[in-house]
Each structure stands twice: as structure tokens, then as C-alpha cells.
Amino acid sequence: MISADGATAFGNAGPGIVSGPGQVNFDFSLRKRTAWGASETRNVEFRAEFFNLFNHPQFGDPATTFVLPDFGVINSTIVSPRVVQLAMKLNF
């Protein structure tokens, strides 16, 4: 924006009008329960949980310090890569 005297001035855009990259995260879980013994209340449960199943990268916000050479550059990811968790539980 150029002011009346020809000098540059700050614009009138408010803070927070630009957002960073979006996030896509797929979590998935499988569970298998198998009865054992004469009683239906006794069972073995196996569980597999997958966090960020498709291992989709999710980037952080760009650098916002104008005077630094990395201004506008995205330098990091914000979510862990794919994580798999296995569990087994015995109910009696």
C-alpha cells in the first residue's frame, strides 16, 4: 500500500488470514476375539492399531520471520510417521 505522501505503509489485512498446509490422517484398528474353554466369558483378544496408516506427510507452517533467508520455507513435519501397535489380552 502506498500512502498519500508516496511512502509505503502497512496494509489493512488482519492477522491469521493465511493458514498452513492441511492435515490428512487415517487411523485404523482391527480386533479379533476368540473364545476358549467351556465358558463364553473366557476369551483371547488380539488387537492391531495403525496410526497414520498411509504414512501421509503432514508439514508444519512456513517460517514467518521476514528478514531470515528461509522466510516462507517449510522446514518440518508435525505428525509422526506410521506407527503400528499390537496387543493381546486374556479375559477370564
Is residue 79 within 8 Å of residue 86, measured between CB atoms? no
pLDDT in tens, 27-79: 999 999 999 888 778 999 999 999 999 998 888 888 888 888 888 888 888 88
Q: How confident is the model at residue 1 (pLDDT cuts 50, 70, 90)?
A: low
Distance, C-alpha 75 to centroid of its chain:
16
> Which pLDDT value is given to residue 7?
60
> What's residue 30's pLDDT?
97
pLDDT at 3: 62
Backbone φ, ψ for residue 20 (5° rounding): -80, -175
Instruction: Identify which of 20, 35, 32 has the alpha carbon closest to the alpha carbon of residue 79.
Output: 20
